[in-house]
Amino acid sequence: MAHVNFEYRDCRRAPTWLSVIFFTVGFLFLVCVRGYGDTSKWKIFSNRAGWTIKYPPDWKIASCHSCSDPAAPHVFVDFFPPRDVVSGWVMISPLEDKPSSTTLDAWFNDIKQRANRNPEISEERLTLGELPALKVRYRNPSNGGREMEDVYVVSGLQTFSISFGGEKPGLALSEYRNYPIYLEMLGTFKVKR
């Protein structure tokens, strides 16, 4: 009798493992089909300020309502997923130029405070290609603890902000469905020198 119960328990576990395997394979299939992780199939957006970025082919581009040309050099550009916008989107904004007499460290310290007034959670120095950058994560205390991230990039004196945010208060950015896509997009950002 104990032998029968043992086999019965193993049979009950099998569908759980099969479900995990099928879910994993299905997820990987969707990632491959949609082109995420393989940026060679992504579209390229070029801005007349000299920067380019790749984005998924099914994402949409937008800018302010009075901006008829999102490729104009002094306008921000939003990149939205085709659905589930609350799971995060990307925005690139031109910021003021770095003063030539200001060091990079002083500039990053200044711009991170003026560009986003929310309390800072963390920061990390990095490079995008060969460009110096500072990644700063903020939390909006009056919006349910919603997190956002800005990567400040300097090319010569030009300064840009590449931002990621979503509409899920209390959720860490790394848990947003589109956060991995944003990270892939960051890796494709380039500025002509």
| Phi, psi values for residue 7, rounded to 5° | -65, -40
Assess contact for 181 and 36: CB atoms under 8 A. yes
pLDDT at 96: 96
Distance CA 96, CA 12 (A): 62
Assess contact for 167 and 86: CB atoms under 8 A. yes
**Predicted confidence band of residue 71 (pLDDT cuts 50, 70, 90):** confident
pLDDT in tens, 157-168: 999 999 999 888
pLDDT in tens, 13-31: 444 433 433 334 333 334 4
pLDDT at 165: 92
Q: Are residues 83 and 160 in the same domain?
A: yes
Print the domain residue range for 3.
1-34
H or E element, residue 104: helix 104-115
Cβ neighbours of residue 42 closer than 8 Å, sequence gap 6 or more: 35, 54, 55, 56, 57, 188
Q: Are residues 124 and 170 in the same domain?
A: yes
Q: How many CB atoms lie within 10 A of CB 143?
A: 13
Q: How many CB atoms lie within 10 A of CB 134?
A: 20
Residue 181 belongs to a domain with what CATH number? 3.40.1000.10
pLDDT in tens, 79-119: 999 988 889 999 999 999 999 999 999 999 999 999 999 99
| Phi, psi values for residue 36, rounded to 5° | -70, 140
Q: Are residues 165 and 97 in the same domain?
A: yes
pLDDT at 84: 81
Q: Mean pLDDT, to the nearest integer, of 168-182?
A: 92
Q: Mean pLDDT, to the nearest integer, of 128-156?
A: 93
State the total domains in the chain: 2
- What SS3 state is found at 49? coil
Q: Which range, 21-30, 71-80, 123-132, 136-145, is most confident?
A: 123-132
Q: Are residues 106 and 153 in the same domain?
A: yes
Q: Are residues 84 and 28 in the same domain?
A: no
Computed over every residue of the chain, the mean pLDDT equals: 83
Distance CA 149, CA 88 (A): 11
For the entire predicted model, the pTM comes to 0.78
List the strands of the sheet with 43-46, edge to edge: 43-46, 51-55, 190-191
Q: Are residues 170 and 75 in the same domain?
A: yes
